Structures are given as C-alpha cells and as structure tokens.
Amino acid sequence: MAAAAKLLTSAGLLLAFGSLCLLAMAICTDYWYETDARRHRERCKSYASNRNDPGYISISNRNLPLRMPPETGAEGLTREKRHLVAPLAAMESHCSRRFNSTVSGLWRKCYRDGFDLETDELIYRGVIQRCTPVTYHYTSSVLPRNLPVNITKTIRQDEWHALHLRRMTAGFVGMAVSIILFGWIIGVLGCCQQHDLMQYVAGLLFLMGGTCCIISLCTCVAGINFELSRYPQYLYGLPEDISHGYGWSMFCAWGGLGLTLLAGFLCTLAPSLSSPSTHTTVHKPRHENGTV
C-alpha cells in the first residue's frame, strides 16, 4: 500500500509540473483568440469591383467611387430593387470598416503574419507596429469620437465592464500558477520526507489552483463574447464571413487545468493508501482487590 501511495504522489507531482508548463506557455504566448479576415476582404474587393447598382460610377483608378443623385420618378424603385437595398447597405457598412487578421493574448494583440500583404508592407516600413499591448487601465482614448451622448455613455460603461473581465482573467490565472507552484514545492518536500499531511495539503492546493484557473478561463470566454456583442454592432461586431475562434494558447490553458485537477485528486488520495504506522501498546497492570 505504501508503494501505491508513493506512486500516486509521484504521478500527481509529475502532472502538476506538466500543468505548470502548459499554463506558463499559455500566459507567455499570444494565441488565445484568433481572427481570419481574408475571405471578408476578398469579398469586399469583389463587391467594390462588380457594383452595378443605379447611380454608381466605376472609376479606373483607386479613388473613392462617386454617386450620382438617384432618379426620383413617379413609380420609384421596383420591387426587385427594393430587395437589394438592405443587403447592399449591410455590405457597404461592413466594407467601410477595415478588418484585419489578428491574434490576441493576455498581454498583446498582433497582426497575423502573411495574412494581409498590405498590412505586412506597412509593418515592414514601420508605419504601424506588429503588436499593440493590451491595456489593463481605463483610458478615454479608446472611445470613438463624434457619437451621440447616449451611445458614448453606453460605450464607456461597456469599456469598464470589459476592463474588469480582462483584469479578472489575468489576475486569476496568475493566482492559479502561484498556488500550483507552491503546492508542487510542498508536495516534493512531503514526498522526500514521506509526510502524508504535506502530500494531502499539496493536493488541496492543486485543487485550489484549478479552481482559480476555471474562474480565469470562464472570465476570458465571457470577455470575448462580451466584446463581440457590444453596442453598437457596426463598431464592435464581426461580419459573418470573418472566421474567429480560440487558439492553441487557450487549449494549453484548458489542458493545464485538467492536469491540475487530476494531480489534486491523486495527491489527496495517496495518503489514504499509505500503511498506518505501528504503535507499541503499553498495557497497564490491573488493580485487583485494592492492591497495586
């Protein structure tokens, strides 16, 4: 039984070390969330080159297109043309914003290399930077200009909410790594000294670190969904033809969470399998007939 307990403790410490490596890799990399806007940009380019709606004049150079005033007849637009107004307006609204293929992590948001030749050229010439830091303090410079007061107020409140979610994500993942590292040190010392209580405490610390990691990952997912659903949608939403999802850094964090919980289970189970220590029992003499 003692060999089984030692084997479980060693396996738990090995899993905890692996979870530390995965969490450290996730924290230090920038592939938590990825977007791919190549299809959207190709669609906007084909839309701009193939427009044939009334009043649109196509120009050979790359200047902005001109619009002629629409003809106002008695009959107005036909039924088929009315059905084309909403999709064309939606496409024009999405194509008016510049979407880039990006990757983002806890500390930086970067343009993806090789996904957009124009952006890569600007980065090569030093006009823009490849990566920009993620802010964890409130600043009014991120607010759009020339908007109504009620929309500006809503954006400011949502910015505070998104900032709190980012802070919780970074704070709890840092706490998780610190607690797991401290538990791993306690577990190694307990394994060397064959102290069951220290091994049990190490398992509890692993479970506590896993709880902090769960909170961090849940707030990260909530923060991403909140950013995508912010109002107004024409400023913060993504078109349907932009593919987006979680990157391998996020999966490393989830893998570290699973290893941490499994390590906590093994380390808390190991002391119950160790053989109880044998204690010598001293029998006291019985008193008979009042004599000692």
Instruction: Identify the pLDDT of residue 83.
Output: 45
Tell me if 5 sits within 8 A of 198, measured CB to CB. no
Q: Which residue has the tokens 């403790």?
A: 9
Instruction: Identify the pLDDT of residue 150.
Output: 84
Instruction: Identify the pLDDT of residue 21.
Output: 96
Closest CA to 136 of 100, 173, 162, 99: 162
Instruction: Identify the pLDDT of residue 149.
Output: 83
Q: What is the 3-state secondary structure (H, E, C) of the chain?
A: CHHHHHHHHHHHHHHHHHHHHHHHHHHHCCCCEEEECHHHHHHHHHHHHCCCCCCEECCCCCCCCEECCCCCCCCCCCHHHHHHHHHHHHHHHHHHCCCCCEEECCCEEEECCCCCHHHHHHHHHCCCCCEEECCCCCCHHHCCCCCCHHHHHHHHHHHHHHHHHHHHHHHHHHHHHHHHHHHHHHHHHHHHHCCHHHHHHHHHHHHHHHHHHHHHHHHHHHHHHHHHCCCCHHHHCCCCCCEEEECHHHHHHHHHHHHHHHHHHHHHHHHHHCCCCCCCCCCCCCCECCEC
Q: Which CATH number describes the domain made up of 2-49+83-272?
A: 1.20.140.150
Instruction: Identify the pLDDT of residue 98.
Output: 76
User: 91-121: per-residue pLDDT in tens?
Assistant: 455 676 778 889 999 999 999 988 888 888 9
CA within 13 Å, CB half, 9: 31
Alpha-carbon distance of 40 to 281, in angstroms, equals 81
Domain ranges of the chain: 2-49+83-272
Q: Block means of pLDDT (10 residues each) for the chain, length 292 residues?
A: 82 95 96 90 72 50 45 47 44 67 93 87 90 86 74 87 94 96 94 86 95 96 92 80 91 96 93 60 54 50
Whole-prediction pTM value?
0.76
Tell me if 107 sits within 8 A of 29, measured CB to CB. no
Could you tell me the two tokens for 138?
A: 């409130």
Instruction: Identify the pLDDT of residue 53.
Output: 53
Instruction: Identify the pLDDT of residue 131.
Output: 93
